[in-house]
Amino acid sequence: MRTIIIILFILIFFIFSIPLFFIEYIIGKFNPHLKVKTSQAIVVTILKGVLVLGGVKKTVIGLENVPKDKAVLYVSNHRSYFDIVVAYATVPTLTGFVAKKEMKYIPFLSTWMRYLNCLFLDRDNIREGLKTILEGVELAKKGYSVYIAPEGTRNHKKEMLPFKEGSLKIAEKSGCAVIPVSLSNTDEVFENHFPWVRRTHVIIEFGKPINPKELDKEQQKHLGAYVQNIIRETLEKNESLV
């Protein structure tokens, strides 16, 4: 029943998106930054509604670790479609997230994603993937945070997939800090009993900022593995809280 209610809720939002797109477009003509801010406010409101309708109880840890006055690179594990719902409804900064290229062909959703500075990554094309990373660098330099899951795909096993080191280049080249994000139990919302959404307790923890330039050479060389290890330890710590 929750699944059906959420689907209807999203469909109604997409219908109302038609005039909202026009309003946001006009705002963007005069103030592009305000367009991103209002678009994110709208989308976050809808995502919070999805969490309420899904009966998802969210515990947030470490939000004070996120700088509110500068861009950061959020780096997280990836277990569920609900990861971005939980994370995006929680991040305190204007943030675009990196998604697989197939999502840019989804009507309504892809428009909102573009309004939010989201990036579409072609994982099978190295050249196009590099262009996307460079776009992320430019976003960070302009003050917009970027959210990425370097495993590259959803992973339901306890052990994470190796992080793709290239994803962390956004922080290295823009000079922004990395915020490790640990998501626990999100696959219990939907994937573990597909196609039904069930009442679930999830945990999202934001780690302390990591400045790549302050790490030693070996840690800088394997920044992805360094951040992943922090996330791994946090996930193990939070197992008892679920």
Q: Which residue has the tokens 């840019």?
A: 104
pLDDT at 158 over 80: no
- pLDDT tens track for 189-225: 998 888 899 999 999 999 999 999 898 888 888 899 9
Beta bridge partners of 75: 148, 180
Give the CATH number, domain containing residue 188: 3.40.1130
Q: What is the mean pLDDT of the chain?
A: 93
Q: Are 152 and 168 in contact (CB under 8 A)?
A: no
User: With bands split at pLDDT 50, 70 and 90, how would you rate the model's confidence at 165?
Assistant: confident
Residue 57's domain comprises 2-241
State the DSSP code for 163. Answer: P
Indicate the number of domains in the chain.
1
- Compute the residue count for the chain: 242
- pLDDT tens track for 72-130: 999 999 999 999 999 999 999 999 999 988 999 999 999 999 999 999 988 778 788 88
